[in-house]
């Protein structure tokens, strides 16, 4: 696609429920990143993929968080048993590749998650 596409754009869920957030990167981009941004805060790294593998998942806050990527394209971020502190904007970004420090990452518009 033309840009990074994320869905849903907004999600309100009850505490304890599971949620899935989807990211469709720019066509041809092999690297995919997930970040979390709480209200008024900076960006917190969660995980990145190179192809279908995740070399760095150090930012996942707990074992309730998991992510996968299939076919080198779409990625899903799953949050199990959601808690109120999970409320945030989840931003996905992609870049052409990870090698080379000049690879600019392009962001989607984010998925706004509210846990009530």
Residue number, 32 or 115, with CB nearest to another protein:
32
Of 48 and 115, CB closest to another protein: 48
User: In Å, how far are 16, 18, 59, 87 from 84, measured between CA atoms?
Assistant: 9, 12, 18, 6
List residues binding another protein (CB under 8 A). 31, 33, 35, 41-43, 45, 48, 50, 55-56, 58-59, 89, 91, 93, 98-110, 112
C-alpha distances in Å from residue 8, one per residue of 18, 54, 92: 14, 23, 12
- C-beta of 15 vs 97, nearer to another protein: 97
């Amino acid at each position: 696609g033309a840009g990074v596409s994320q869905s849903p754009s907004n999600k309100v869920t009850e505490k304890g429920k599971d949620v899935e957030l989807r990211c469709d990167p720019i066509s041809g981009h092999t690297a995919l990143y997930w970040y979390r941004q709480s209200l008024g805060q900076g960006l917190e790294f969660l995980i990145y993929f190179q192809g279908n593998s995740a070399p760095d998942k150090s930012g996942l806050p707990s074992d309730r968080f998991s992510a996968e990527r299939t076919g080198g394209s779409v990625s899903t971020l799953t949050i199990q048993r959601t808690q109120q502190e999970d409320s945030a904007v989840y931003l996905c970004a992609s870049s052409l590749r990870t090698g080379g420090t000049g690879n600019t990452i392009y962001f989607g518009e984010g998925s706004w998650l509210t846990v009530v």
